[in-house]
Structure 1
Amino acid sequence: MGIEDYSGGPGAQQTGVLVVTTNDVPGYRVERVIGEVFGLTVRSRHLGSQIGAGLKSMIGGELKGLTKTLVETRNQAMERLIEAAKARGGNAVLMMRFDVTEAADVGTEVCAYGTAVVITPAAS
């Protein structure tokens, strides 16, 4: 897998929603604050990856199967976040964050959350 498989979610060009981790977007003005939005998913690891991870942890190194699963899980949570923002009329999400927790020892819960807003280009 290449770097594109391990980096960031979809861009604004693909989704119509800009997602940033900052409080504002340079060159844009917040016209309306919609409120908190989130995307949530819980994924379990299959038995093969758990066994492979257990063996790999004894010799060290990256757990590539688990890394791939976590990237896919984060991307799914972010896609759900974007859909929530769009459904409420937003075209941007400010202060996006991820929260990752273990879910009852059977999987990983990933929540992407932020503030949905409507932004417009600032007058020059």
Structure 2
Amino acid sequence: MENKMLVVTTENIPGRKYEVIGEVFGVTTQSKNFASVFGAGLKSMVGGEIMAFTKMLTTSREVALDRLREEAGKLDADAVVMMRFDSGSIAGDMQSVVAYGTAVKFVD
């Protein structure tokens, strides 16, 4: 199921008027397996991009955004404005990502 709800990082949507419904969040926490973490430790000694963690963060952002859209849909929103991402690490090998914004309903 693909959710096509409009999500923007801006406060305004050109040509649209809306009323605010409320804040919405989408959260996920991901971790890598021991082999990936071990390999990342080795890679950090020589430098360069650690692809396993890059992929994990990319997936985390996609999951968080999907969950944000789901939460906005539950509120019967038409769009989400002022969307932002925030992230933080937990215990070194886990990453938590949250997508948050304001759910709105079009009035025009």
Same fold flag (TM > 0.5): yes
User: Which residue does the alignment assign to 1:119?
Assistant: 106
RMSD between aligned residues: 1.4
TM-score normalised per structure 2: 0.91
Residue in structure 1 matched with residue 6 of structure 2 by the alignment: 18
Aligned residues of 2:89 and 2:95 also touching (Cα < 8 A): yes
Instruction: Give the gaps of 5 or more residues in structure 1.
Output: 1-13
Q: In the alignment, is residue 50 of structure 1 matched against residue 37 of structure 2?
A: yes
Structure 1 ranges of 4+ moved more than 3 A: none
Q: Is the 8 A contact 2:37 2:93 kept in 1?
A: no
Distance 2:88 2:59 in 1: 15
- Quote the offset at 1:29 in angstroms: 1.1
Aligned residue for 1:81?
68
Distance 2:60 2:81 in 1: 21
Q: Which 5+ residue runs of structure 2 have no aligned equivalent?
A: none
Question: Displacement of 1:103 after TM fit?
Answer: 2.2
TM-score of the superposition, structure 1-length normalised? 0.80
Aligned residue number for residue 64 of structure 1: 51
Q: Distance in 1 between matches of 2:69 and 2:104?
A: 11
Moved more, 69-78 or 102-111: 102-111
Q: Paired residues, what number?
A: 107
